[in-house]
Each structure stands twice: as C-alpha cells, then as structure tokens.
Amino acid sequence: MTVTYTSEHFKREARLALDQPNLQRALDRTTTLLQARRAEAYRAFGEFDAARAAGSRIKDHVLRHLDHYLETFEANAEAAGCKVHWARDADEACRITTELCRRAEAKTVTRVKSMLGEEIGLPEALDAAGFERVETDLAEHINQLAGDRPSHIVIPALHKTREEVSDLFERAHPPHRHIDDVAELVESARTTLREKYFAAEVGISGANFLVADNGAVCTVTNEGNAELTMQLPRVQIVTAGIEKLVPSMDHAGVLLRLLARSALGMELTQYTTFLTGAKRPGDRDGPEEMHLVLVDAGRTELLGDELAPILKCIRCAACINHCPVYGQIGGHAYGGVYQGPMGSVLTPAMASLAKSKDLPHACTLNGRCDEVCPVAIPLTGLMRTLRERTWRQHLVDRPTRLGLGLWGAVVRRPALYRPASRLGVRALRLLARGRPALRRLPGGGAWTRSRDFAAPPPGGTFMARYRRGER
Amino acid sequence: MSQNGGGRDVGLFVTCLADAVRPSVGFAALRLLEAAGYRVQVPDAQTCCGQPAYNSGDDATTRDLMAGIVRAFEPFDYVVAPSGSCMGMIKKGGHLFDDDPELASRHAALAARSYELLGFLHDVAGWRPQGRRYDGRVAYHHSCSGLRELGVKAQAERLVTDLAGVDFAPLDHPEICCGFGGTFCVKYPEISTSIVDDKVRDVVATGADTLVGGDLGCLLNIQGRLGRLGHDVKVYHTAELLAGSEVAPLGRDAPS
C-alpha cells in the first residue's frame, strides 16, 4: 500500500510546530538529554573514532557487493528454515506481507515498529486488509492510541510529554485511572499489551542487521517487545530493506557498538536478538514459519547515484538528535517517515525531490550531523548535492532565483560590484538615520521581523577606505 | 613574491560582509597580520566567496567567483580571511573545477595556503597578543565552519584569553549553531529565530558583557537578536578585540 507522505507543507508545518508549547517542552527535554548521553558514551568508549571508521568501511563494502551478500544471505536463511520473499517496491512488499497474514488465518497481528515498515506503509496496509494491528513498541502504542505518526525514528513519540501520555492511557487502558508516575504508566501499557502477544497469530518485525554468512536477523530494542513479537506467534514475518546486510556476526558486532551509543548513549540496547530460522525439531519454542520480505523500494537505483552514501545509514538518529532545526520543529514537519538530516536526504532521494524540495534547504549546514554520524555519511554534502539538483531542476522559487541571478551578475564583476556595494551601504546609512541598528528594512522583513540589523558605520566600504589610504 | 608558500606576502580576502557593514574587521585583520610580520595587500578583484550561490545550489555562479578568487590571489604566499565560513568555501570549492584539470590544480595549490585569520595568526604566524588588553567578561561564539570545517577553536579562545583583562565566560553549548546559516536565516526566518533564541539564552546566562567570534554572519545574527530583545551585550569580531580597534560594538553607539 502506498502512503502519500508529503513534505510540501514544510514551512507551514514548521511554523505550527514552533507554536506548540508541549512539543517545544518535549523537544527541549529529550534532545538535550540525548546529546549529553551520546557525548558521554563517546567519551567513555575511547575507540569510537576507530569503530566509526570500521563501521563506515563495512557499510561501503556491503553496498559495493550487495548482490553477493544478498545471495549468500538468501541461501543461508533458507537453509536455516526461513522463506525469503523479494519485493521490488512498497506495494509488492505490503501485498506479500498481508497475503502471508491471510494464509496464516490471522485475526490479530503484533508488530514491532520498523522504519522500513513505516516507509512502505505497512501499518496502513494491515489496517486496510482488516487485521487487528497491535503496535507493541511503547512509543508506537502511544502513537496508535493518539492516531499520531512517529515523529522520530528511534523515539517515535518524542513529541508527546508525559502529561499527554497520562491522559491517553487514562482513556484507553482499563481501569481508566489517572497515572503520573512513569514506571506505572509503563506497567499499564505492559498489562494491556501482554495478552495481545499470546493472542496474535502473526508477529511482524523489521531488522537492524541481516547477517549474510548465517542467515540471522538481528533486532535491537529496549523493551523486549521484539522478542515477544518474534517468538510467540505461530508465524513470523520480517520486513527489511536490502541495505541491512552485513557480512558476518563480527561485522554486526562493530555496528551494534556504534548503534546503541549513537542512538541513546547506551553501551548496548537492553535486548539484542539474533534469530536464525523457524522452530527446529527439538526446539521448545519459536515460530513455526519464518518469512523474510526483502524490500528494494528504490535502493538499487540509489546505489548508482551520488546520494548512495545515505544507504549506509543504520537508523541511529544521532544526526536527528543533534540537528538544531529538528530541535526546534520536531519530526512531523518533515512530512515523511524520516526526519532531520538523514530524512532530508532520504526522503527526496527515495521519493520525489519536487515534493520535498524544502528539506535539503531547511538546514544551516552547520555540520554537526556529519560529525556525529557513526558511519561517516557526509550528510551536509548530500544536502548540498540535492540543493544543486533543486537549482538545476528549477525547483528553487522564482524570487530567490531572480534575486540570486541579479546578485550573481554584479558580484562576478568587481568593477560593477564596488560602486554597487558603496550604493548599498549609503542606502543602509540613510535608512538607519543615524541610529546604530535598523529595526526595519524594506524587503528585509525576514531578517528584521525578529532581529535588528547593524547599520554600517560612516565612511563607506572597507575597499573605498582602503583605496583612500586608510589603514 | 614566492609562488610556493612560506614567504611573507599575504593577500587579504576581506569578505563582502566586512567590506560593507563592518570595515573595522578588515582593518583589524590587516593590522594584526602586519603585527605578526607579514606584508599585506588587498587585491582589488575580490568580491564574495560565493556561499550564497553555492548553498542555493547554483554551481555555475560559484565556479565563476571561485575562478576569480584563484586568479586574484595566486600571486600571494598566503590567502587569509577574517571568516571561517568564507575560508571554508574557498578551501572546499575544488570540486567545481572537475571539468578543468588545470584550474583544479591551481585551485588546490591556492586552497593549501589559504587560512582563516585566527587559525593563521595562532598556528602559522605563532603570534600572541602579548601586552594587549581588553577589560570585560567575554563569551566566545564559534562559527560552525570555523569549528568543524577548519578546526579553529582552542586557537581562537587562546588568543582572546591571552589578552590581559579578559575574564573568559564559556558558553554551555559552544558547539551548537546560532541559526544564521547564510540564506537559511531569511528562507526559514521563524526556525532561525528560534535557534538564535537558544544561543541568546546561553550567552546571557554566562553573565558576559562582551561576545566575540570569528564570523560576521553569526555575529550579525546573534547581535540582531540580542539587540531586539534589549540585552546589553557588546558584540565584536575577535580580530577587533585583538587589534584593540576603537570602534563602537556591532549595532550599538560608541559609549560616550
């Protein structure tokens, strides 16, 4: 099922987000905490930079030899008792998954949130096919109750304050009492969700890594919901993007050390599970059938593109947590499934640049994302590449284009630029009327609505004064 | 003049912002470089480093400007600019000449001897502001390009704290962007304002009476917001403080 996400209203959505006190409070609390925790984990690790270089090399290597690792993975996963399905796009992936649920005669489907699932619109597809979909991730449970979309790839309900969650749970969870304490709120969700794990006929999860040389699927969570979802139902379905491959368990180990530290500042997540195949004769538990749906959805095409490094992304959200723009507007304004710097590259790269043209521009190019990315993706460089495409494809709005065109014509010619800048300075001086700063600037409202603009001092431009012999 | 660096001839890239709204930054840079023992010239053919075009995706304009910079500054041993972001632009512009190996190698040679002013004074010239002073509690704003593209942080702070009379007031979050971002601040003014508000809070919380930094873009943004909110913090370019420039703080009247 194709869900139409759109970033076309980025500017409006961003402005709305800035005016939501609850969202602002939630963003302040969480991003500050996550930055501090990541910094501490980075410091305590001691080998972070070496691990980062290794992690980056592993991802580069896999992307160069993706065909080889996909075939190896398929053979080993099938040998371990999995059935591998290939999906070219989102529609095909959803069709295969819902069909597998139907064949399992499922009524209830438990699900662990995965970004790939969100990307292909799997929740909506399951709902449309009539299954009772139970989101088992605490944050996704909150979003499901609130009818909200995830606003962060790792902390999907980051936009909600504890107070809002209290109200939601009071309405949705029997016996409908008001709870303020976080531990009690979690217990309330646990009690509600627990019976669903046993009722579900199918469990659906994603994968953090697919291990080629033994066919294992690796998931990480802090809640244990992946383990319950993957092992209690009779049928298990894993949906994963084809870029999730790693050659071996050792390689997964390197990336796991980076992932947990980068995401939440932890040495390891509470649960790290490698699942290899369905229940074998003699096994006490595990699913009777295990299906792997491997999804392309634009990835192969991206491999040959300048933007290919974004396929290295391990979805840790460090770039998002450190992005000053995300820190102000939160995730929903980005419109897509992904947010912040990685989303501002991935959404235009995978979907349509025309419909998400704001995303690569809504960035100060401060480079903090490049610095914290655990697999060294040059995020601001990729955003610059996308900006260049918006320029070439005439997606930059007309006034900006004309303005820059005019400026370019002058700035290319020093002999023209000198008098033009002298004139500009004189105009600013006149408008300032002797005051040291301008409070309003005709045509410059975007600056002066919220900021003063320092007036140039008397005497003219530097170049004019320098030519007059001033030193 | 030598073609291969190591000499004493510096071409000063003034930057378009300093040229127009803060000439004292250009003069301060000039005097500091001379004090450090260099012969300084200001080539007439300079305008802008091209960031507004580059960051909007207009590579053709950027390429023309970059080619102009290569031609204008090639005769010098060093190129120095009182701005991390303009210097970052000059240093990273090489890929614009992918189709012209000759210009690409000329650019690479120039980029290798191009420096941001404070990094140059500290690392290359080994200059220290001995015997100079500034009396005040001073906070430092590092531009993201200075910090992350060029690695100028400790050097700049060292130069400022070496001034007698400076009581250094560290920011809580010195690594966070001020929200200027060149054209970003006018393309997304509300987001930019919200980011600079965080920076203003950080500055004010230090109790600093003076804020300095190496990039005029950031300083105009932070000062503009400080001024609008009525905060009484004097804002200077680091070069002005080091050179002892007798000018009014940015956006303010000179104290009478």
Helix (H, G, I), strand (E, B) or coil at A82: strand
Q: Is residue A442 part of a domain?
A: yes
Residue that is last in its domain, among A240, A267, A301: A301
Residue from A20, A361, A363, A365 to probe the interface with B (highest B Cβ count within 10 Å): A365
Residue from B141, B190, B236 to probe the interface with A (highest A Cβ count within 10 Å): B190
- Give the burial class of A124: count Cβ atoms within 10 A of its Cβ; 0-12 exposed, 13-18 middle, 19 or more buried: middle
Residues in chain B: 256
Pick from A361, A365, A462: CB nearest B187: A361
Query: What's the CATH number where A239 sits?
Result: 3.40.50.10420
Nearest Cα residue in chain A from B221: A451
Name the β-bridge partners of A134. Answer: A110
Residues A408 and A283 in one domain: no
Residue from A389, A426, A450 to probe the interface with B (highest B Cβ count within 10 Å): A450
Residue that is last in its domain, among B89, B123, B157: B123
Helix (H, G, I), strand (E, B) or coil at A241: strand
What amino acid occupies position A131? F
Indicate the angle between helix axes A66-79 and A48-64, nearest 10 degrees.
Answer: 90
What values do phi and psi take at B95, rounded to 5? -65, -15
Residues B67 and B114 in one domain: yes
Residues A142 and A14 in one domain: yes
Residues in B closer than 8 angstroms to A362, CB to CB, are 184, 187-188, 191
Residues B204 and B137 in one domain: yes
- Taking 50 as the threshold, does the pLDDT of residue B91 lie above it? yes
Q: Is residue A375 part of a domain?
A: no
Q: Is residue B172 part of a domain?
A: yes
Residues in A closer than 8 angstroms to B252, CB to CB, are 436-437
Residues B115 and B177 in one domain: no
Residues A258 and A402 in one domain: no
Pick from A14, A392, A404: CB nearest B191: A14
Pure H helices in B93-245: 101-112, 117-119, 144, 154-161, 184-187, 189-205, 216-228, 238-243
Residues B177 and B100 in one domain: no
Residues A297 and A408 in one domain: no
Residue A307: per-residue pLDDT: 98
Nearest Cα residue in chain A from B253: A436
Q: Is residue A389 part of a domain?
A: no
Q: What angle do CA A99, A101, A106 make, to 5 degrees?
A: 140
Residue A4: per-residue pLDDT: 55
CA distance B82 to chain A (A): 13
Residues B42 and B15 in one domain: yes
Residues B80 and B171 in one domain: no
Structural domain span for residue B198:
131-243
Secondary structure percentages of chain B, helix, strand, coil, to 5? 50, 15, 35
Helix (H, G, I), strand (E, B) or coil at B253: coil
Is A390–B176 a contact, with Cβ atoms under 8 angstroms apart? no
CA distance A468 to chain B (A): 13
Q: Is residue B114 part of a domain?
A: yes
Is B20–A425 a contact, with Cβ atoms under 8 angstroms apart? yes
Confidence of residue B255 (pLDDT cuts 50, 70, 90): confident
Residue that is last in its domain, among A301, A317, A350: A301
Q: Is residue B220 part of a domain?
A: yes
Q: Residue written as tokens 């014509």? A: A409
Do the Cβ atoms of B148 and A368 come closer than 8 Å? Answer: yes
Helix (H, G, I), strand (E, B) or coil at A276: coil
pLDDT (tens digit per residue) in B27-82: 999 999 999 999 999 999 999 999 999 999 999 999 999 999 999 999 999 999 99
For residue A360, give the nearest of A381, A335, A338, A387 by alpha carbon: A387
Is B251–A404 a contact, with Cβ atoms under 8 angstroms apart? no
Residues A276 and A407 in one domain: no
Residues A146 and A277 in one domain: yes
CA A194 – CA A33 distance, rounded (Å): 30
Confidence of residue B3 (pLDDT cuts 50, 70, 90): very low
Do the Cβ atoms of A238 and A291 come closer than 8 Å? Answer: yes
For A411-456, list the strands marked E by DSSP. Answer: 437-438, 453-454
Number of CB pairs, chain A paired with chain B, less than 8 A apart: 202
Residue from A20, A24, A366, A467 to probe the interface with B (highest B Cβ count within 10 Å): A366
Q: Is residue B103 part of a domain?
A: yes
Is B185–A446 a contact, with Cβ atoms under 8 angstroms apart? yes
Query: What's the CATH number where B163 sits?
Result: 3.40.50.11810
Residues in B closer than 8 angstroms to A456, CB to CB, are 20-23
Residues B178 and B98 in one domain: no
Residue B1: per-residue pLDDT: 44
Residues A295 and A425 in one domain: no
Residues in A closer than 8 angstroms to B190, CB to CB, are 14-15, 18, 450
Q: Is residue A416 part of a domain?
A: yes
- Taking 70 as the threshold, does the pLDDT of residue B4 lie above it? no
Do the Cβ atoms of B242 and B32 come closer than 8 Å? Answer: yes
What values do phi and psi take at B167, rounded to 5? -105, 105
Residues A407 and A287 in one domain: no
Structural domain span for residue A438:
398-467
Pick from B23, B44, B177: CB nearest A459: B23
- Taking 50 as the threshold, does the pLDDT of residue B136 lie above it? yes
- How far apart, in Å, do the first and last CA atoms of chain A sit? 69
Residues B146 and B63 in one domain: no
Residues A22 and A166 in one domain: yes
Helix (H, G, I), strand (E, B) or coil at B210: strand
CA A52 – CA B77 distance, rounded (Å): 37
Helix (H, G, I), strand (E, B) or coil at A267: coil
Is B44–A463 a contact, with Cβ atoms under 8 angstroms apart? yes
The count of domains in chain B is: 2
Residues B167 and B63 in one domain: no
The count of domains in chain A is: 2
Residue that is last in its domain, among B101, B123, B145: B123
In eight-state DSSP terms, residue B237 is: E
CA B56 – CA A361 distance, rounded (Å): 8
What amino acid occupies position B123? D
Residues A65 and A200 in one domain: yes
What amino acid occupies position B60? A
- How far apart, in Å, do the first and last CA atoms of chain B sit? 45
Residue that is last in its domain, among A250, A277, A301: A301
Indicate the angle between helix axes A379-392 and A340-350, nearest 10 degrees.
Answer: 40
Residue A245: per-residue pLDDT: 98
CA dihedral B136, B137, B142, B146 (to 10 degrees): 40
Q: Is residue B4 part of a domain?
A: no
> Which ipTM was obtained for this model?
0.97
Residue that is last in its domain, among B66, B90, B123: B123
CA B77 – CA B3 distance, rounded (Å): 6
Residues near B130 by Cβ (< 8 Å), separated by ≥ 6? Answer: B162
Q: Is residue B161 part of a domain?
A: yes
Helix (H, G, I), strand (E, B) or coil at A451: coil
What amino acid occupies position A186? V
In eight-state DSSP terms, residue B74 is: T
What amino acid occupies position A116? L
Residues A281 and A404 in one domain: no
Residues B194 and B229 in one domain: yes
For residue B215, give the nearest of B128, B149, B166 by alpha carbon: B149
Take residue B67 and report the two structure tokens written for it: 């080619």
Q: Residue written as tokens 């500054």? A: B73
For residue A360, give the nearest of B183, B88, B85 by alpha carbon: B183
For residue A84, give the nearest of A290, A272, A256 by alpha carbon: A290
Where chain A has pLDDT below 70, the residues are 1-5
Residues B143 and B119 in one domain: no
Residues B136 and B112 in one domain: no
